[in-house]
Structure 1
Amino acid sequence: MPDQTLTIDAVIAGRAVSRDEVLAWEARRLPRAARKIGLAVPSGDLARQRTAFADTKLALGADDVRRRLARDVRASGVVARGLTALSFGRRATSVCDLHVTGGNAGAFVDWFTDAGRDDYARSMIAANPDHFLIDTAPDGLQEVIEATGGSPLATQFFIDYDDTSPLVTPRDPAFPVEAAGVARTGAGLAIGGVRHEFRDEANGFHARLCIEFPWLTAPYLIAQHRWHLACEFSNWIEAAFARR
């Protein structure tokens, strides 16, 4: 990769959004996420808070995270099943575009999907304060517990990156690299999915990030999840191309 400063510019609902605006959103979400899981808000600037909060969540262990958020997961599961049933297969999409100078699409997706790297678990949790658990099993099924968008509840779902058949968002041939899969409940009900697409550009790459929710999901949550996407993927991109 050429010696080039990495920059990330987001487009949310047709509006150009600076990296500083996305970082400000992250800073507002972090104290709420800490209260949600019953942890103290770390001190220091956002970078120090992000590191400390990720370390503390990881130190809890998966079982303790599930225990602390069990009530949320039960309640959000009821909501997800109800919205899915009443949406009759229709989906609403939350989309964010990132334009990156430096790096390339293939290298990023290879890094993002490499569950065997030593820093995988930490990088997944640190990317967004609303990430409480991201655990990928040997078969590739990924368990996620997070607060989607601005939701007051943490949700648990399982992403299968080997199955895109339930997705309604069509594959865009203009984006040759993708990370996509269905999101299911623990009982196997398809409640949504991810269709993240990437393509190289002259000085970097373009990421089109898309999440499918049940059609009747509140518009506010759909809108806020665009910021969630910008936050997590900007942090992941910076981590993927950081000098080591």
Structure 2
Amino acid sequence: MALPELDITATINGRQVSRADVLAWEDKRIDAAAKKLGVPAPDPMPVSERREEWLQIKRALGDDEMLRRLERDARIADIVGRAQASLSRRRRICVTELHVPGGTAQELADWFTEITFSSNQDAMERSCPDHFVLRMAGGRQQVLETNGGSPFAALFDIDYDDVSSLVTPIDPQFPVRLDGVAISSTGRPIGGVRHQFRDTADGVHARLLVEFPLPMLQTVISGHRWHLACEFSNWFEAAFAG
């Protein structure tokens, strides 16, 4: 499903990054994600085509098989995440900013909310190579993904209803938000997201923010800034395709 490419500018690690740079990162992560699952990566081709090929490989494996293959990763990541969260209630913050031409902040938020709660796995999992399983289960979103530069895929739930454990203040200059709390296997909050959006003269300014446990390695934080740029750039293009 080739979509019109938007001239999105990201700010990652304090510097401006082009859409082409983010696409190059996505291309490399397809190879890394395929290795993680133990399957051949799609052949070299334009990133938009590899993205679709990679989605179909994940579809062919199925959710249960991907959960089985990454069970050990998920178990280790859960133990580490719970241990890190128990050390301090403070959080390590990961932020990426996007400037997106066209569309509105509410348009993106409405589209994202619809694909989330309708459990549109294709739209969710297409957006980033490291998204393995993203689906609604028991009123929460089940997520199996690799976070940034982590060596392990993590399995957790996102609660979109009770976000009281988030520590990042709401910025009144960003009137549109997508908030959620990451929940471990024991039901403990271990982090979350506070994504904030506002309209600009020529499009949308997105401040994408993830709260990790304070002891989280800086390599994971740095890598996850690219993860955020990748997934939301693809989501913006899909949301504004009409």
Alpha-carbon spacing, 1:119–1:46, altered in 2? closer, same or farther (3 Å) = farther
For 1:99, the equivalent position in structure 2 comes to 99
For 1:165, the equivalent position in structure 2 comes to 164
Partners in 2 of 1:235 and 1:205 — Cα distance?
A: 14
Query: What is the aligned-residue identity percentage?
Result: 50
Partners in 2 of 1:117 and 1:215 — Cα distance?
A: 30
TM-score, with length taken from structure 2: 0.94
Amino acid at match of 2:106: G
For 1:111, the equivalent position in structure 2 comes to 111
Amino acid at match of 1:10: A
User: Any unmatched runs of 5+ in structure 2?
Assistant: none
Which segments of structure 1 move beyond 3 Å, counting only runs of 4 or more? 115-119
User: Contact 1:5–1:102 at 8 Å: present in 2 too?
Assistant: no
For 1:127, the equivalent position in structure 2 comes to 127
Partners in 2 of 1:80 and 1:93 — Cα distance?
A: 15
Amino acid at match of 2:63: A
Amino acid at match of 1:206: H
For 1:37, the equivalent position in structure 2 comes to 37
Partners in 1 of 2:174 and 2:117 — Cα distance?
A: 26
1:92 shift after superposition? 0.3
Alpha-carbon spacing, 1:127–1:5, altered in 2? closer, same or farther (3 Å) = closer
User: Contact 1:127–1:233 at 8 Å: present in 2 too?
Assistant: yes
Amino acid at match of 1:144: V
For 1:64, the equivalent position in structure 2 comes to 65
User: Contact 2:10–2:18 at 8 Å: present in 1 too?
Assistant: yes
The count of aligned residue pairs is: 238
Secondary structure of the equivalent of 1:232? Answer: helix
Partners in 2 of 1:113 and 1:62 — Cα distance?
A: 22
For 2:89, the equivalent position in structure 1 comes to 89
Partners in 2 of 1:211 and 1:130 — Cα distance?
A: 16
Secondary structure of the equivalent of 1:115? Answer: helix
The one-character-per-residue Cα deviations of 1:87-138 (angstroms, maximum 9, x if unpaired) are x101001000000111110011100110378892101111110000001236
Amino acid at match of 1:11: T
User: Any unmatched runs of 5+ in structure 1?
Assistant: none
1:82 shift after superposition? 1.3
Alpha-carbon spacing, 1:13–1:59, altered in 2? closer, same or farther (3 Å) = same
1:215 aligns with 2:221: no
Q: 1:124-163 maps to which residues of 2 (within 5 A)?
A: 124-137=124-137, 139=139, 141-163=140-162
1:65 shift after superposition? 1.4
Alpha-carbon spacing, 1:239–1:119, altered in 2? closer, same or farther (3 Å) = farther
User: Contact 2:115–2:123 at 8 Å: present in 1 too?
Assistant: no
Partners in 2 of 1:118 and 1:144 — Cα distance?
A: 15
Partners in 1 of 2:71 and 2:116 — Cα distance?
A: 28
For 2:186, the equivalent position in structure 1 comes to 187
For 1:79, the equivalent position in structure 2 comes to 80
Secondary structure of the equivalent of 1:113? Answer: helix
TM-score, with length taken from structure 1: 0.93
User: Contact 2:119–2:135 at 8 Å: present in 1 too?
Assistant: no
Partners in 1 of 2:206 and 2:142 — Cα distance?
A: 23
Alpha-carbon spacing, 1:76–1:14, altered in 2? closer, same or farther (3 Å) = same
Secondary structure of the equivalent of 2:174? Answer: coil
The one-character-per-residue Cα deviations of 1:167-204 (angstroms, maximum 9, x if unpaired) are 01111111000000111012201110000000111111
